[in-house]
Amino acid sequence: DKIQHADITISAVSPSQYPDDGLTEIVLAGRSNVGKSTFINTMVNRKKLARTSGKPGKTRTLNFFNIENELFFVDVPGYGYAKVSNAEQNKWGRMMTDYFATREELALGILLVDFRHEPTDLDIQMYDLYKYYDIPVLIVATKADKIKKSKYNKHSSIIRKTLEIEPGDKLFTFSSMTREGRKEIWDEILTYVGD
Q: What is the contact surface with Mg ion in residues (CB under 5 A)? A: 36-37, 58-59
Whichever of 24 and 37 has its CB closer to ligand GTP, that residue is 37
CA distances to 28, 35, 38, 75 from 58, rounded to whole Å, are: 14, 11, 11, 11
- Beta pairing partners, 107: none
The partner in contact with residue 155, picked from ligand GTP, Mg ion, none with C-beta cut-offs of 5 to 8 angstroms by kind, is: none
The partner in contact with residue 167, picked from ligand GTP, Mg ion, none with C-beta cut-offs of 5 to 8 angstroms by kind, is: none
**Minimum distance of Mg ion from residue 77's CB (angstroms):** 7
The partner in contact with residue 33, picked from Mg ion, ligand GTP, none with C-beta cut-offs of 5 to 8 angstroms by kind, is: ligand GTP
Residue 174 class from Cβ within 10 Å (0-12 exposed, 13-18 middle, 19+ buried)? buried
Amino acid identity, position 56:
P
Q: Which residues are CB-contacts of 47 (< 8 A; sequence separation ≥ 6)?
A: 41
CA dihedral 128, 130, 131, 134 (to 10 degrees): 160
CB 140 within 8 A of CB 39: yes
**Minimum distance of ligand GTP from residue 174's CB (angstroms):** 6
**Minimum distance of ligand GTP from residue 179's CB (angstroms):** 9
Cα–Cα distance between 43 and 24 in angstroms, integer? 16
The partner in contact with residue 145, picked from ligand GTP, Mg ion, none with C-beta cut-offs of 5 to 8 angstroms by kind, is: ligand GTP
Whichever of 62 and 165 has its CB closer to ligand GTP, that residue is 62
**Minimum distance of Mg ion from residue 13's CB (angstroms):** 15
**Minimum distance of Mg ion from residue 83's CB (angstroms):** 15
The partner in contact with residue 35, picked from Mg ion, ligand GTP, none with C-beta cut-offs of 5 to 8 angstroms by kind, is: ligand GTP
- Please give the residue ranges that form the binding site for ligand GTP (CB under 6 A): 30, 32-38, 52-54, 56-59, 77-78, 142-143, 145-146, 175-177
Sign of the four-CA dihedral 149, 27, 134, 123: positive
